[in-house]
A and B are shown apart, each in its own frame.
Chain A
Amino acid sequence: MAILEIEGLSAGYGPVRVLHDLSLTIEPGERLGLVGLNGHGKTTFLSAIVGLTGWQDGSVLFRGEQIGGRRTHGMGRKTPQIVRRGIALSPQGDAIFPGLSVKDNLDSGAYTGATWRSRRKRRERILEVFPPLAPLLGQSAGTLSGGERRMVSVGRALMSDASLYLVDEPSLGLAPKISLNLVAALLEIDLGDGAMIIAEQNLPLIEGRVDRVLGMHAGELKLDVGEALGDVPPASAVHL
C-alpha cells in the first residue's frame, strides 16, 4: 500500500489559494525531493498533509486512511491526531522550544504514544546522526546557533515513530558547509518501510541523493524541475 496518496489537494489561507489541485503518490521507502522557489507552495504543501493550513480540500490518504478532506477553518485543530498516526514534520523556521533543554526538545518528539518509554534509545540514535548535539544536551535550546537549532528541529522529527517524515527547507539560513552535512546525515537515515519528503530550494544539495525530484511552481507540481526553479531560457546567450 502506498504511504501517501494525495488526490485533488487544494489549500490556502483566507481568500488566498496557494495549492491548486495537486495529486501525488508516495511508495514505501521512497525519498522525494520537492524543489521550487520561495512562495510557490512547498511549505503549504507539507503543512496541508498535517492539516496546518487555513483551509483545504481534497483527499489525503495516509497508509489508506483519510487524513485530509474538506475543511474551511480550524487550522491545526486535527494536527495532533494526524501526527500521532505516524507523520513527523520538521517545520520551516525550526519551531523548537527555546526555554527547554536540548534533551527535552528532542524528547518532545517522542511525546506521542509508546515512543515515550523508548526515548533514551531514540535520543542516542539521533546523537549518532547529529554528533554536535551530544555535548549540548543540558543547554537551553534558545542559546543554540542556527545550525544547531536546525539539528534539534530535524532530530525532534526523527525521534518519533513515524513512517512519513516531512522536512521543510533543512538548509534555509545555514552556511553551505553546515547545510551540506545536515542534509547528508538526513538522507543517510534508514527509512525502512517509511518515506520522506524533503522540500529544498537548493537542488544540488539533494540531487542524486533522493529517489525522485519534483518541482513546485505556482502551487502546482511539475515533473520539469528547471521550470520550478525559474531557469531562464538561453535567450541571454543569444544576446551575447
Chain B
Amino acid sequence: MIEVVISALVLASMYGLIAIGISLTWASIGMLNLAQGFIFTAGGYTAWLYAQYAEGWGLEGVGLSAGVLVFGMLGSALAGLFVGAIAFLPLQDRDNFRTRSLIATLAISLIGTQLWLILFGPQNKPLPPVFGEGRIEIGPAGMSYQQLGTIIVAVVMLALVILWMRSSRRGLQMRAMMMNPLGAAVVGVSVRSTGMRVLAISGALTGLSSVLLAQVFFVSPTSGVQPLTTGLIISLAGGLGSIPGTVAAAGLIGLAEALTARYLQQSLVPFVLFAIVVLILIFRPRGLGGLLEDVRE
C-alpha cells in the first residue's frame, strides 16, 4: 500500500507541473496550449543535448545532474516563448482568440513532432540518472533516489512559484491579470509582456517535468503526447486557473493511476482518468478549484 502511495506522489509531482503550466496559461491569457507536449519534448531534447556534451567533457555527479535539470527547464522556457511569438502575440487582440490560438497551438504541436523526428530521428534518447541510483528503506517499504528526488524537486519548484506569485510585483501582476484583465490594464499591466512571462514560466515547469519523467521513460519525438493528455485532465479536474485545485487534482489523478496500475491493469489507466474527470465536471463544472477559492469573477 505504501508503495502505491509513493508511486501516486511521484506521478502527481510529474504531471502536476505540466498541469499547473496549462492552468496558468489558460487563466492568464485564455489560451489552451496544446503545444505543451511540444514544449515538453523541447526540454527533454535540450537536456539530452547538454548531457551529450557534458559527458564528452567528462562532467559527472552533481554538475551533470544540475545541468540536466537547468537545461531542460531552459529549453522548454524558450519553446514556450516561441509558441507565444507564433500563437499569442499576433493573435491576441483578434476576435475569437481562444479558438484561433487553440488551432495555432495544435498546429505547432503536430509540426513540432515532425521537426523532432527530422532532427533527432525516431530512436529513444535516455537521459543520465539525475538523482543517482539507489534506494532508501523506510520501515517495511522503500523508495528509490529517483522517486524521492522527483517528489522533492517538484515540491520545491512549486513552492517557489507560489511564493513568487504571492509576494513579488510581477507575480501579483500575473494574478491580477488572471482575475480581472480590464482592472489589470487600468493599473498598467501589459497583457502581452505578462502573457509571455507566463508562457516562459509554464514552459520551465513543463521542462522540469520532462526531465523528471525521462528518468523513467525516454525522450522521443512523441514523448510529449501522453503527458499533455494527463496534464489537460488534471488541469480540467482542478478547475483551470486554480493552483490549489490543480495540486489536489494532481494528487487524486496520481493516486487513481497508481491504484489502477497496481490492482487492475496499466492499459485501463486512461479510461479511469477520463471517467474521473467526467464525474468531477458533472458535479463541479468549475473543477475542484471552485471548492477551494474564487478563481475569476
Contacts and interface: CB of A to CB of B under 8 A. Distances in A.
Does A associate with B in a complex? yes
Contacts of B186: 50, 52, 79, 83, 89, 91, 95, 157
Contacts of B184: 97
Interface of B: 93, 169, 172-173, 175-176, 179-180, 182-192, 293-297
A111 B169 contact: yes
A108 B176 contact: yes
Nearest to B181: A76
22 contacts: A52-B182, A76-B185, A76-B191, A77-B93, A80-B185, A80-B188, A83-B185, A83-B186, A91-B182, A98-B179, A98-B294, A99-B175, A99-B294, A100-B176, A107-B172, A108-B176, A108-B187, A111-B172, A112-B188, A140-B294, A142-B297, A157-B186
A95 B188 contact: no
A81 B187 CA distance: 10
A32 B257 CA distance: 64
A98 B178 CA distance: 10
A159 to B, nearest CB: 9
Contacts of B183: 91, 94-97, 108
Q: Binding site of A, secondary structure by majority: helix, strand, loop or mixed? A: loop
A94 B97 CA distance: 25
A79 B184 CA distance: 10
A137 to B, nearest CB: 15
A50 B187 CA distance: 11
Interface string A120-146: 000000000000000000001010000
A70 interface: no
B188 A111 contact: yes
Contact of B175 (A73, A94, A100, A109): A100
Given A75-B93, A108-B172, A156-B187, 11 more contacts: A76-B93, A76-B182, A77-B93, A83-B186, A94-B183, A97-B175, A98-B180, A98-B297, A100-B175, A108-B187, A111-B176
